[in-house]
Amino acid sequence: MDSFIITGGRPLEGEVTVGGAKNAALPILAATLLTSEPCVIRRVPNLSDIKFMAMILESLGAEVQFDGATITVRAKTLRGVGDYDLIRKMRGSICILGPLLARLHEACVSMPGGCIIGARPIDLHLKGLRALGASVMIEGGYVRAECSQLVGSEVFLGGRCGPTVLGTANVLMAAVLADGITIIESAACEPELTDLAHFLSSMGAKISGIGSPTLTITGVRELHGTEYEVIPDRIETATYAIAAAATGGEVTIRGANPNHLHAVIDKLKEANVRVERRGVALTVRRPDPLRSVDVTTQPYAGFPTDVQAQMMVLMTLTPGISIITERIFESRFMHVGELARLGADIALEGPSAIVKGGKSLSGAPVMASDLRASAALVLAGLVAGGQTQVNRIYHLDRGYESMDLKLQRLGARIERVPGT
C-alpha cells in the first residue's frame, strides 16, 4: 500500500484549484441509471470511488466513457443485480438501489462498505422505499426489492443523528418515476443532495422544495438524457483552507463555492484565521496567535462531520483548550490515537474530544483509518517537526484527487512512496 512521506515545517503558499464534489458525483452517476439516454457529467473528480462506481454501472449493463473530468453514461439496457465485490468497497454504492427499483421494478444490491466510522444503517432507505410500495428484504447480505409500480407517498426520513443524505437520495431517485406525488419530510439539505435534485430536474424530473427539508416530487413516466456539471467539493476546499491556517501560510483556493462553507468559515474566523472571499475563490492566511474554539458537528448547514478531524489538527496547535463534539457518527475519533503519536494532547469523553493545544508536534509513522482521518494526518505531518509517514493512503485517494501534487505546488515537502 502506498504511503506519504512528509517533512513538515514549511508554510503553504500559492494557489490550488478544487475539483468536483465526490459526494455529489456518486449519486449523480447512480441517477444516470434512470434513463436509457446518454448523460454527460462534467467536473467529475479522478478518484478511486468514482472508478468503482463506473465499474458498478458497467457491471449493471451501462456503457461508461471517460474523457478527462467528463464521464458519459448510457444505461440502455440494465441488469438488476449489483456486483458484491464492487459494491462492498464503498458506502455510496447503495444509492443504485433507488434507480434500479424505479427503472426495473426490481433490484438486488449487496450491503455496502466504506470507511469504518461507526454504524451507518440503511433502515431509513428501506423505510422510504417501502413507503413507495416496494417489498424489501435483506437476505444473505443483499438487499432485495421489488414492486409492480412505485406509488407516491409521504415519507419521513429523520433519524437519530438527523436526516439521512444517501437515504434521501435513494428515495428521491425512486420517487421521480413513481406514480403520483411523493413528499419527503426531514429531507437532507446538504449541497450534494441539492445537486442531485438539480441533476434530476435537468433530466425532466418534477421536484419542488429543492434545498429545503421538504421535497415534493411529482412522478413522471420517463426521464431523458442531459449534460450537467458537478458542484465544487466543499470538503476539499475546507481541507486546504485549514492546511493554510495550520502551516501559517497564505493560500488562494480557486473553483470553490463559499456559500457551502459558512459554518467552516465562521469557525476559522473565530480561531483568528483570515478568510477573504473573492467570487468563487477564498484566500486563507493565519496571523498569530490562533484562538481555541469549540466545534460541534451537525447536519448541513452546521459544521460538517467530514471536516471534524482536520479542525482538530488546527486546535492541537492552538494554545488553550477546545472541545470538539461529534454528533453524526459515534466512531469518528479513530484519528485521535494517531495524532497522539505525533504529540497531540487529546482526551476522549463520550462524544467529545478535549484538545489541550499549543504543543509542538513531531513526526512519526502513523496509520490512516478512514478518508477524512487520512487528510487530518497529512495536515498534522505538514506542521510536525521532522518526518511523518502516513500509511494506508488508499483511504485518501477515495476523496482527494492528487493531494500530494497539489500540496507540492504549494511548497509542501511530500512524496508518495509506492507500497511493496
Residue 387 CA to residue 381 CA, distance in Å, equals: 7
Bond into 188 cis (ω within 30): no
What are the φ/ψ torsions at residue 184 (nearest 5 degrees)? -100, 115
CA neighbor of 220 nearest in space, from 205, 241, 238 = 205
Catalytic annotation present for 115:
yes
CA neighbor of 217 nearest in space, from 153, 131, 278, 145 = 153
Give the C-alpha distances (Å, rounded to integers) separating 385 from 10, 28, 324, 343. Answer: 10, 42, 25, 10
Of 39, 115, 147, 189, catalytic: 115
Q: How crowded is residue 401: how many other Cβ atoms within 10 Å of its Cβ?
A: 20
CA neighbor of 256 nearest in space, from 274, 240, 272, 273 = 240
Burial 234-246 (b: 16+ CB within 10 A, else e): bbbbbbbbbbbbb
Residue 409 CA to residue 296 CA, distance in Å, equals: 32
Mention every residue, 6+ apart, whose C-beta is less than 8 A from residue 246.
286, 313, 314, 317, 379, 382, 383
Residue 96 CA to residue 32 CA, distance in Å, equals: 10
Residues with active-site annotation: 115
